[in-house]
Amino acid sequence: MGFNDFFDKVKETSSNAMEKAKDTGKRLATINELKSKIRGYNNDKNKLFTQIGMDIYIARKQGEDIDEAVDAFVKQIDTLNVRIKDIKERLALIESDGTEDSLANK
C-alpha cells in the first residue's frame, strides 16, 4: 500500500464515521421529537380528564343532561390515544431498526 493509498483509506474511514454519526444524530433527534409528541398528547389527555370532571360536576349541580358533553370528551381522548399509538409504533420501528428508513413507511 502506497503513501497516497494509506491517506485515501484514512479519509474514507473518517468520512464513513462522520456519516454514521450524522445518521445516529438524526435518529436520536427523531426519537426525542416523537417522545415529546407523546408527552404533549398525554398532557392534553390529562387536561381533558380534568375538564370532564369539572363539566360533569357543574352540569349535575345545574340538573343538565351530560351525555353529549361526555361523548365529545370521549371522542377527543380516543383521537389522542390513536395518535399516541401511531407514534409509539413509529418509535418502536426506529428504535429496533436503527435507521430512519423506517420513517419512509409512515
| Residue that has been written with the C-alpha cell 370532564 in this structure | 52
Residue 48 has pLDDT above 90, yes or no: yes
The DSSP output letter for 62 is T
What percent of the chain is predicted at pLDDT more than 90? 42
Nearest-angstrom CA–CA distance, 54 and 44? 15
How many C-beta atoms lie closer than 10 Å to residue 87's C-beta? 18
Residue 25 contacts residue 98 (beta carbons within 8 Å): no
pLDDT mean across residues, the chain: 83
Residue 23 contacts residue 100 (beta carbons within 8 Å): yes
